[in-house]
Amino acid sequence: MTGRTTPVRKLQLQFEGDTYPVWIGARCLDDIASRIGELKASSLHIVTDETVGRLHARTLFERLSADATARLWTVRDGESAKSLASVEGLAQDMVRAGIDRRSVIVAVGGGVVGNLAGLIAALLFRGIRLVHVPTTLIAAADSVASLKQAVNLPQGKNLLGCFHAPTAVLIDLCHLQTLPAAQVRSGMAEIIKNALTVATENLTLLEEALSPSASYSDADFALIVEAGLLAKQKIMASDRLERRQAVVFEYGHTVGHAIELAAAGRVPHGEAVGLGMLVAAEVSFRLGRLNAAGRALHHRLLDRNGAVARMPDGVTVDAVMALLRMDNKRGYVAARPDQVAMILLDAPGVPGGPSEQPLTLVDAALVRSCIEDCLVRDVAHPKEEAKLCHL
């Protein structure tokens, strides 16, 4: 870390009729506080989790409290906070504290806090202003470039939600420097996904820049975050509800979400998506669509990102297959119980299936076999393991 303040850059994201600014800088807390101040909120409600509260959100809260009525609301860390019970509990607390239609909810944290605070902002008074201050790479480079807000049900991830655009996104890249390596890799997996699906022009740069130790400078993060946001903008500019071409951003998520849910919070989202992409590449290869070089590129990129192609401890293939039946993409196409709706690539940057909605129905038996091949190593067969490692 250099300790230098990086000039704040502005990107204006445009998703059909919705547009909002993303301000990106490093060591720019004063700038963030003054932009929030400009919103002239009747009160500010900062939502964070325990870790981010300790590291960053409390400092911002203290800065904001000097000039405005502000409250700090802290949820527990992790995916389990993305629940309807959290929405109801926080909304009740905020109403008791006097939140009104001119208040602003400020989400300071990763994708979990962003989605939770986003859903509350969408629901309270049928919609109040939301500002994102993303502190994970996933949130900064991916989830803030989306209008989707949701919480989970025990049956599946993101099953309860709606669309609500933020008023602004304010990114201080130095927040990303306190992330554990696993979280940085998790975010990079989403950037890899965006490059493989819609921004192939970033693939060479990405392959060179990826650091297996997950250490990046503020300047590296600036490039990575901007590339991630622009990749999403490319497609969502004409599909703000992410129901048509933008479904492609769910690449790797069919199996990834199931693994994430089965691991019950022990596996970061992007890591699970990375495993899901390996399975999707294998399925596509076996169907004769993606060639061996395309499949090998998936393994190389994820390997350079320090990922291990292995099912997380304690997660069984049966559990993953059962959760696949709840996948929220099934509703887009009429899938039989023995089919899984997946995004597949015919080549990097070329999604398979109908261009207006790139989903392919795949036999569940094939998906199971690919999960077993890619992620379940049989220690009794070391040759198999060696083959998989050197793809």
* Choice between 143 and 245, CB closer to ligand NAD: 143
Residue 250 is among the residues annotated as catalytic for this protein:
yes
Residue 10 is among the residues annotated as catalytic for this protein:
no
253 sits near ligand NAD (criterion: CB under 6 A): no
* Choice between 79 and 218, CB closer to ligand NAD: 79
| Contacting range for ligand NAD; rule: CB under 6 A; set: 178-186, 197-205, 212-220, 283-291 | 178-186
Q: Residue 34: CB partners within 8 Å, gap ≥ 6?
A: none
| Contacting range for ligand NAD; rule: CB under 6 A; set: 24-32, 131-139, 216-224, 334-342 | 131-139
Asked if 320 and 255 count as a contact pair (C-beta separation under 8 A), the reply is: yes
DSSP 291: -
* Choice between 26 and 391, CB closer to ligand NAD: 26
Rounded Cα–Cα distance for residues 160 and 156 (Å)? 9
User: Catalytic residue among 79, 190, 242, 250, which?
Assistant: 250
178 sits near ligand NAD (criterion: CB under 6 A): yes
* Choice between 181 and 293, CB closer to ligand NAD: 181
Tokens (6 digits) for 208 = 């060179």
166 sits near ligand NAD (criterion: CB under 6 A): no
Of the candidates 345, 108, 117, 127, the one whose C-alpha atom is nearest the C-alpha of residue 249 is 345
CB of 180 to ligand NAD, least distance (A): 6
Window 57 to 116, contacts with ligand NAD (CB under 6 A)? 77-79, 82, 109-113, 115
Rounded Cα–Cα distance for residues 212 and 196 (Å)? 18
Encode 154-192: b = buried (16+ Cβ within 10 Å), e = exposed. Answer: eebbbeebebbbbbbbbbbbbbbeebeeebbbbbbbbbb
Of the candidates 273, 39, 48, 300, the one whose C-alpha atom is nearest the C-alpha of residue 142 is 273
Of the candidates 27, 82, 24, the one whose C-alpha atom is nearest the C-alpha of residue 60 is 27
Rounded Cα–Cα distance for residues 293 and 285 (Å)? 10
Site size toward ligand NAD, by CB under 6 A? 31
Of the candidates 173, 137, 222, 136, the one whose C-alpha atom is nearest the C-alpha of residue 26 is 173
135 sits near ligand NAD (criterion: CB under 6 A): yes
239 sits near ligand NAD (criterion: CB under 6 A): no
Binding residue (CB under 6 A) for ligand NAD from 44, 179, 247, 344: 179
CB of 52 to ligand NAD, least distance (A): 5
Beta strands in 286-344 (DSSP E): 339-342
49 sits near ligand NAD (criterion: CB under 6 A): yes
Catalog residues that contact ligand NAD under the rule CB under 6 A.
Answer: 49, 51-52, 55, 77-79, 82, 109-113, 115, 135-136, 138-139, 142-143, 146, 148, 157-158, 175, 178-179, 183, 186, 268-269
Active-site residues, by number, are 148, 250
